[in-house]
Chains A and B, each alone.
Chain A
Amino acid sequence: MVTATAQTAWDLLAAVPDPEIPVLSVVDLGIVRAVEESADGRRVVVTLTPTYSGCPATEVIARDVRTALEASYDEVEVRTQLSPAWTTDWLSDKAKEKLHGFGIAPPAGRVTLPLVDVGAPVGCPQCGSRDVEELAGFGSTPCKALWRCRSCREPFDYFKTH
């Protein structure tokens, strides 16, 4: 799917941040399912998969993707693909490192279905202690839960394995 020219689109997408976790690009997040470019390189179709059904960032992301690509393409189409459903398994290792550096504990392990648990952070993203506890199953965005470190006492977000 990635031709020499579609690389332009991928490079532009790699610079579109998630509006709520700006340390990650939409490519890091694993929501870009496909990029197709016309033979003359003037038209591009990008297929995105939403993270959560009601995630308010979804529409902002589609708009940001369109705006970014319009810099290099005459015609941009953003499509939505629901199946297969997005999973944190699609986060790259690089994305997980970025999350950690941003103070968000990355998802631990891989998703197993049926989903019975969303895992637990390996450690505190601030001090590295493994002595952590869940404060609440839901956090500031649909993809996160609220945890606390018992060593340094800092609360932190955990990106749920989902």
Chain B
Amino acid sequence: MRKEYLKLEKVEGPLIVLSNIENVAYDEMVEIKIDENEMRKGKVIKIEKDKVVVQVFEGTAGISTHNARVKFLGEPLKLPLSKEILGRTFNGMGEPIDGAYQVISAHKYNINGRPINPVARKYPRNFISTGVSAIDALMTLIRGQKLPIFSGSGIAHNELAVQIVKQAKIEGANSDNFAVVFGAMGVRHDDASYFMRSFEAAGVLDHVVMYLNLADDPITERISTPRCALTAAEYLAFEHDMHVLVILTDMTSYSEALREISSSRGEVPSRKGYPGYLYSDLSTIYERAGMIEGKEGSITLIPILTMPNDDITHPIPDLTGFITEGQIVLNRELNQKGIYPPIAILPSLSRLMKDGIGEDYTRKDHADLASQIFSSYSKVQDLRSLAQIIGEDDLGDVDKLYLKFGRAFEEKFVAQSSFENRSMIETLNLGWKILSILPQSDLDRLKPEQIKKYYKGKKE
């Protein structure tokens, strides 16, 4: 029988402090029984001599220094996992909240995981076709990649995430052996139910595992939610060879929870009050995506974050961008123009794209086509600001063509309905069709033979 401690020294924010404690390990789980009926969980986050600081997952409301019995469980938070988790819904600590039984498994998995050895990784190469033109052509998603969606509040990021889940298709063997792991941190009830309904409508619910921490759930559980989700993903991918797509939303709520706990611990803050270890902490989440040499499965990670005040230099998107392999940036202006998906092309990027497209994967001209679209569209932006000053009529003829190209690109190429699933070839052909608005001589990133084959405009 483990010892129970009856007296707390201090209760502050999500933390409780106990003294005269023996034999406690760092990161160990703790059970707290309040008034003999309510059970909460916590973990050890600091040990100082015989004093221990415990972070309570469900919050400290209702705890006094004398009404709690505290028991140390001797191990970190571990999840029992089996293939039965598919189709189930859990809370942020991996406990079932769908009314069904707890998952039974002989082996339990530490939710903190351990870093993947870089020499054991397999470099991700196969693309995932999402059916969304802007993503497929210009920021191709690769199996095993971590590609976040940078959004703002009120922008259609949830729709885009659902569309990706519904339409994602991979080539080759083992392609139906897929699963979706959904981790929600601090999202609203209607957002969570939107995801659930959409998964159901798409008929994939049997392949989905959900870890939900809703907006009114305790913030401390937000810290464990993505870790539970990724532990489940690692289990499915590396022990059952499944291709796992992990959606984590919203990383901003997660980081804010981290900040709240950090400040109640009295830590020295760094930028905007976030703790100095935000980067290391985020990386222990994002870096769990990937593929492993000798294993069939993969973890593709799409975290969603809302940029506070649409500011891409805010610490959360900024640090995320330094860890992830690119980013899909959504833009409020496009969203207001009614363009769905409102993907801002220029700041978006997929770092792994270069190795997963081209002759062996998509089509030979893909890389050059993408590069040309980026370069031409970036010129459109310059001309638009010029046109605002001198008026569109005073622009040169070629410049007018650029504006036409820009409009067609946004309205026909980027925009598509949330049910439209364009194949990779359709997307590339559409790209050529729109580029053909521009004179041939302006297409300096394309090779002559490509222009000959695909260019539809006036040939020179």
The yes or no verdict on A and B being binding partners is no
